Structure 1
């Protein structure tokens, strides 16, 4: 994983590495060299002159060969469409909400995203009635005793939905200057894997999917600590 010939210099390089490995965290994950952060040519990780991994996220998603979201221990990363069905199959057999109330709130957000097709956080807040007096109401009523805006953060909810592979990031949207050039941090647009890629469930049990993923990661990293492998699988 330290071979500089495999370093990422372009968005095509980044996509190629995801397709080669099947799974690729964006940030360091405890397995040396196994992240876009560590594979990127140092001068491009944060550059004022050239685009780098931060700007390439949207283009790689739009190519349609890799899914992106907070999928690795609540941190961002990619999975190739070759491996997405098994990861989805396994993750959907698990529960990421701590209790029934949290699960109910997660489902309200999920059903809103499904109804809309895709949304940003700002759109979700409006649809769920977090912004009073503006916009139309959601088709989905808030759960009983839902806290007011400022007391509910959508980020943990979306992270749980992404960890469970109920939701992925469809693209990033940017503000545009007077010359038509995008600037600033991209705003994520959320959707479901089914809306973006179609039905992804394989004809296998979640346990079989886990075994396939575990075997693949073990073959890539035979000396990695067991905990690190399990953290990646989620």
Structure 2
């Protein structure tokens, strides 16, 4: 799968782009949640943890893997040129998103449960607002899902579902010595289009360009 991600640059977890592969479409159903080396569900933590690909809900609130080679250009092309604070002052992001990003900046790799606690969003009625804000930050390329942490009880035994952890995009890239794209947004779009047109179906290239207003 690493080779596929390296070749295509962008690989959704489930079907998303027209005439374009996805992880579910390329793998066997029986391998999912099998806790084996072939379990695609584990790749969403393993690949970011190896610096192979960034992972997050980057396109239409859907989970996507973006290769480390393509990610700098993708963030330059699809991310905002403004800081989140500037976007908040302009009414372009939610207060919850701003709060969460400030916490993640100070606690890189923080897991979901701790993030909700520090943001005072642990209450059941705040879960939707929390989920929406986390998804918003991924869509604007402010954060990535950097891994999955096991939950343990007081005795150190595994207890309950694994918990997603988050980092800022800049921190994740720095960790794996992935340089930022040197160029303008337009140059990043041109770079991506050139690579996509070599490997993708024209319908997928057109669809992504329309979705991201390229």
Tell me, yes or no, whether TM beats 0.5.
yes
Structure 1 unaligned residues grouped into runs of 5+: 1-13, 133-147
Give the deviation of 1:161 after TM superposition.
0.9
Q: CA deviation at 1:150?
A: 2.8
CA distance in 2, matches of 1:128, 1:163: 20
Q: Secondary structure at the match of 1:29?
A: coil
The equivalent position to 1:160 in structure 2, one of 128, 136, 140, is 136
How much has 1:127 moved relative to structure 2? 0.8
Change (3 A) 1:127 1:231: farther
Q: CA RMSD in A?
A: 3.3
1:224 matched to which residue of 2?
Answer: 203
Residue 29 (structure 1) aligned with residue 5 (structure 2): no
Structure 2 equivalent of residue 144 of structure 1: none
Helix, strand or coil for the counterpart of 1:70?
A: strand
2:96, 2:129 within 8 Å by CA — same for their partners in 1? Answer: no
TM-score under structure 2 length normalisation? 0.78
**1:63 corresponds to 2:54:** no
Give CA deviations for 1:81-110 in whole Å, capped at 9, x if unaligned: 111111111222378989717444322211
2:113 counterpart SS class: helix
Give the greater-gyration-radius structure (CA): 1
Change in CA separation of 1:50 and 1:150 when aligned onto 2, cut-off 3 Å: same
Gaps of 5+ in 2: none
2:96–2:130 CA contact under 8 A, matched in 1:
no
Contact 1:214 / 1:233 at 8 angstroms: preserved in 2? no
Bigger helix share: 2
| 1:2-47 deviations in Å (ceiling 9; x for gaps) | xxxxxxxxxxxx2221112111111101423411111113432465
Q: 1:161 to 1:16 in 2, by over 3 A?
A: same
> What SS does structure 2 have at the residue aligned with 1:190?
strand
Distance 1:189 1:209, change over 3 A: same
